[in-house]
Amino acid sequence: MFTSIFIIVNPIEATMVFVSLTQEASPAEKSRICVRTTLVAFSVAMIFALAGDMILRFFGITVDSLRVAGGILLFLVAIDMLRAKPHKKVTEAEIEDATTRDDISIFPLAIPLLTGPGAITTVIVNMGASSTLVEKMLVLLAICLTFSATYAILRSAEYIDNFLGVTGIMVFTRIMGLILGAIAVDFVSVGAWNIYISMASGA
């Protein structure tokens, strides 16, 4: 659970966007942006995790259907990561627009860079697939740990960017993309199998 959420959030790659958008900010301003970005992204992830079941029921969607759709989405993200396409979650137009904003912590840093469609789908699927209270609490714990690590990484964004460089971050991104691809395949296979079993039993 932690692995899938951490990889799709991918705070290591996010450091490049964070550094590029906060070049002219003071240390105090960078700290404020870091805190607000992490809190907003964490809040969005928690809201969808807690309200995920209600959202699925409202739209009449099963967890397995979302698991298949989410797996396909994650696989597309994984392909971009394997091809080391930087900032794929944030378009060039969004980055250009962000340079004219007074506050970039909510958009584009928190949404969609950290908590985008892939992250939202992942937390909903993980919560929906949890059958017991303990399992649901573990998912919530995984979200907390992910964004605690995200805060620490963003606080050290300049050091990480200088130490790893673009090449190092892209190598890390490719490795994470490979793991995310495997997670995506598991999402699709489990979801498709459960849908098949459900249809077969109802026939």
Distance CA 175, CA 168 (A): 11
pLDDT at 97: 64
Share of the chain above pLDDT 90, in %: 73
**pLDDT (tens digit per residue) in 37-63:** 999 999 999 999 999 999 999 999 999
Mean pLDDT calculated for residue range 142-165: 95
Higher pLDDT, 114 or 89: 114
**C-alpha closest to that of 191 among 50, 74, 76:** 74
Residue 103's pLDDT band (cuts 50, 70, 90): confident
Total-model pTM: 0.90
The amino acid that residue 43 corresponds to is S
List Cβ<8 Å contacts ≥24 apart for 83-90.
84/170, 84/173, 84/174, 86/13, 86/16, 86/166, 86/170, 86/173, 87/13, 87/16, 87/17, 89/113, 89/116, 89/118, 90/17
pLDDT at 90: 65
